[in-house]
Structure 1
Amino acid sequence: MACLCACATTTGPHTRSSAASSSLDRPVRVAVCQTLCIDSDVEGNLRRVEYALAEAARQDADIACFAETCLIGWINPDAHRLAGPIPGPLSHRLAALAREHDIMISIGVSELEGADLYDSALLVGRNGEILLKHRKINTLAGLIEPPYASGQVEDIRVVDTPIGRVGMLICADTFIDSHIEAVAAQRPDLVLVPYGWAADPDAWPGHGESLAAWVRSVAGRTQCPVFGTDVVGSVSQGPWKGKIYGGQSVVADGQGRVVEVLRDRDPQVRVFEVTREGVAGAAD
């Protein structure tokens, strides 16, 4: 989504005694899977997710991270007819992919509950179990009709997993102090944030700098590594029709330093190794 201000704020960090307070007891390999999303092309988008999962698994990743609503498309009104409940057919297919490739998955999805459409994120275990579901809270009014329903701040959770304590937010959730504080208070080892970072075509590649600023801010305030995964593609409908998702996914360490930015407007799978000492790009 487009940045709503020039830079990220850095006030009010959660205090953590040291990097050694992490519960990580072994190196964790995290794959950032920056895929192409074509609005409404559910089968094609699933195929691209599967290709990325296979590559992440080939590189021995423990978890593969994907972008916001990357199966149907963000602010895509077709989601009202293409999305389904969770658990439901699409989440079952993601669970099957997790089992097939023996890998955890973090992914942004469109979720229907009755007549309500949610912009959600799932954390799926290697066995296909849904370990965490987060519904986007800061949904940004006026970009899709009928609008997204909103999640609740009190539902923000961090969960214990085989790769440590994991928290999730979605894109514009990271603009709100109370959302970051709710995650930080639960002392995560990793925060995973699916993004849909869009702007006019001529704003790229420079628009990626604002994404890096927000990811860096969240990492500094939660004092843990943050993986902000963006998508490649374009908005097909509504008031933002024609805006471009430019990739440039961002990884930041627990000191709020950018470790790496992925390619501009191009799909890429990149694996990082997380230890108690920090984050580094892993050799292929």
Structure 2
Amino acid sequence: MKIAMCQIVALDSDREGNFVRIESAIKEAGQQQADLVCFPETTILGWVNPMAHERAYPIPGKDTERLAKLAQQYDVHVCAGLAEKVVEKLYDAAVLIDDQGRILLKHRKINTLPHLMTPPYTPGQEVQVVRTKFGVIGLLICADSFKESVCERMGKLKPDLVLIPYGWAAKEAAWPEHGDSLRSVVQKAARSMHAPVIGTDGVGQISSGPWKGMVYGGLSVAATAQGEVIAIGKDRQHDIKVISLPLKPQSVL
């Protein structure tokens, strides 16, 4: 299968602009025959953005409906990170949507780093996979991947592929070297879970909280189950990186 790491610029609270950039990336990936397009963490409203407490939707909801329409329109599977509002709780979530617009899997981030936003995200609890026509796919989000217990739980589910949206941020002066730590985290997670990992980072800047001004520097990483890096996104700029992974097609349950 062909997978696109869609390393896009995402601006905090700019839902409409971010959807323009999401659609453009899906279109660009489709021109390279991508079967699955992957986006960064909280790509619609931004990570640790307190405005998401008021502006996020449930899942399913208006944001996932728009993503589903794009998946159908461009005949691709879509993985994207986004905020999820459930009554008074806000989750840092990710979804996998198929080319028919169906939500196949949702993950709520477990390792939420609560000191970075007030009120904080509510942590998720579950680690899950779903059987697709490409194989068994799992979802994690960013800091979940450097929590060994979470990776071990995922590994026990024997995924053929794990998709991880990232919001990998550091001070401006720390880039591009900070990309080395993302590469190491993805490699370690892939080896721990015995599965290839697609780690898609974004490009932009945190606008609120203790990490205000921190930069997302791209340098997305794809690694094999053995931890071999097979693709890296560009440094601090938009990039659509399409890679081929020899996953064995599965019959959908």
Q: TM-score by structure 1 length?
A: 0.86
Where do residues 247-258 of structure 1 align in structure 2 (5 Å cutoff)? 247-258=218-229
Match of 1:190 among 161, 179, 182: 161
Which aligned segments of 4 or more residues in structure 1 are displaced greater than 4 angstroms?
A: none
1:272 partner letter: I
Give 1:208 shift.
0.5
Task: Show structure 1 runs of 5+ residues with no match.
Answer: 1-27, 278-284
CA distance in 2, matches of 1:115, 1:276: 40
- Contact kept? 2:41, 2:201, Cα under 8 Å: yes
- C-alpha contact (below 8 Å) 2:11/2:45 kept by paired residues: yes
Contact 1:79 1:110 in 2 (8 A): yes
One-letter amino acid of the structure 1 residue matched with residue 228 of structure 2: R
What is the CA-CA distance between 1:276 and the residue it aligns to? 5.2
Which residue of the other structure, out of 190, 203, 222, is the alignment partner of 1:232? Answer: 203
Identity of aligned residues (%): 49
Task: Using the TM superposition, give the Cα deviation of residue 215 of structure 1 relative to its aligned residue in structure 2, in angstroms.
Answer: 0.2
Instruction: Quickly say closer, same or farther: Cα 1:213–1:93, change in 2 above 3 A.
Output: same
> Aligned-pair distance for 1:120?
0.1
CA distance in 1, matches of 2:114, 2:81: 19
Please tell me whether the aligned partners of residues 144 and 238 of structure 1 are also in contact (alpha carbons under 8 angstroms).
yes
| 1:95 aligned residue (68, 71, 87) | 68
Change (3 A) 1:197 1:102: same
- 1:60-102 deviation per Cα after TM superposition (whole angstroms, max 9, x unaligned): 1110000000110000011111101111111100000000000
Q: Is the 8 A contact 2:200 2:220 kept in 1?
A: yes
| Mean Cα deviation higher: 214-223 or 62-71 | 214-223
Tell me, in whole angstroms, the C-alpha distance in 2 between the residues paired with 1:245 and 1:162.
32
CA distance in 2, matches of 1:189, 1:86: 25
For the pair shown, which has the larger CA radius of gyration, 1 or 2? 1
* Structure 2 match to 1:6: none
Q: RMSD of the alignment, in Å? A: 1.0
Q: Which amino acid aligns with 1:49?
A: I
Q: How does 1:1-284 map to 2 (within 5 A)?
A: 28-152=1-125, 155-275=126-246
Residues 105-130 of structure 1: CA deviation (Å, up to 9, x unaligned): 01000000001000000000111100
Normalised TM-score (structure 2): 0.96
Kindly provide the amino acid, as one letter, of the partner of residue 64 in structure 1: V
* Residue type of the alignment partner of 1:37: A
Per-residue deviation, 1:30: 0.6
Given residue 111 of structure 2, which amino acid in structure 1 is its aligned partner? N
**Partner SS, residue 275 of structure 1:** coil
Q: Is the 8 A contact 1:249 1:262 kept in 2?
A: yes
The whole-number CA distance in structure 1 between the counterparts of 2:137 and 2:231 is: 20
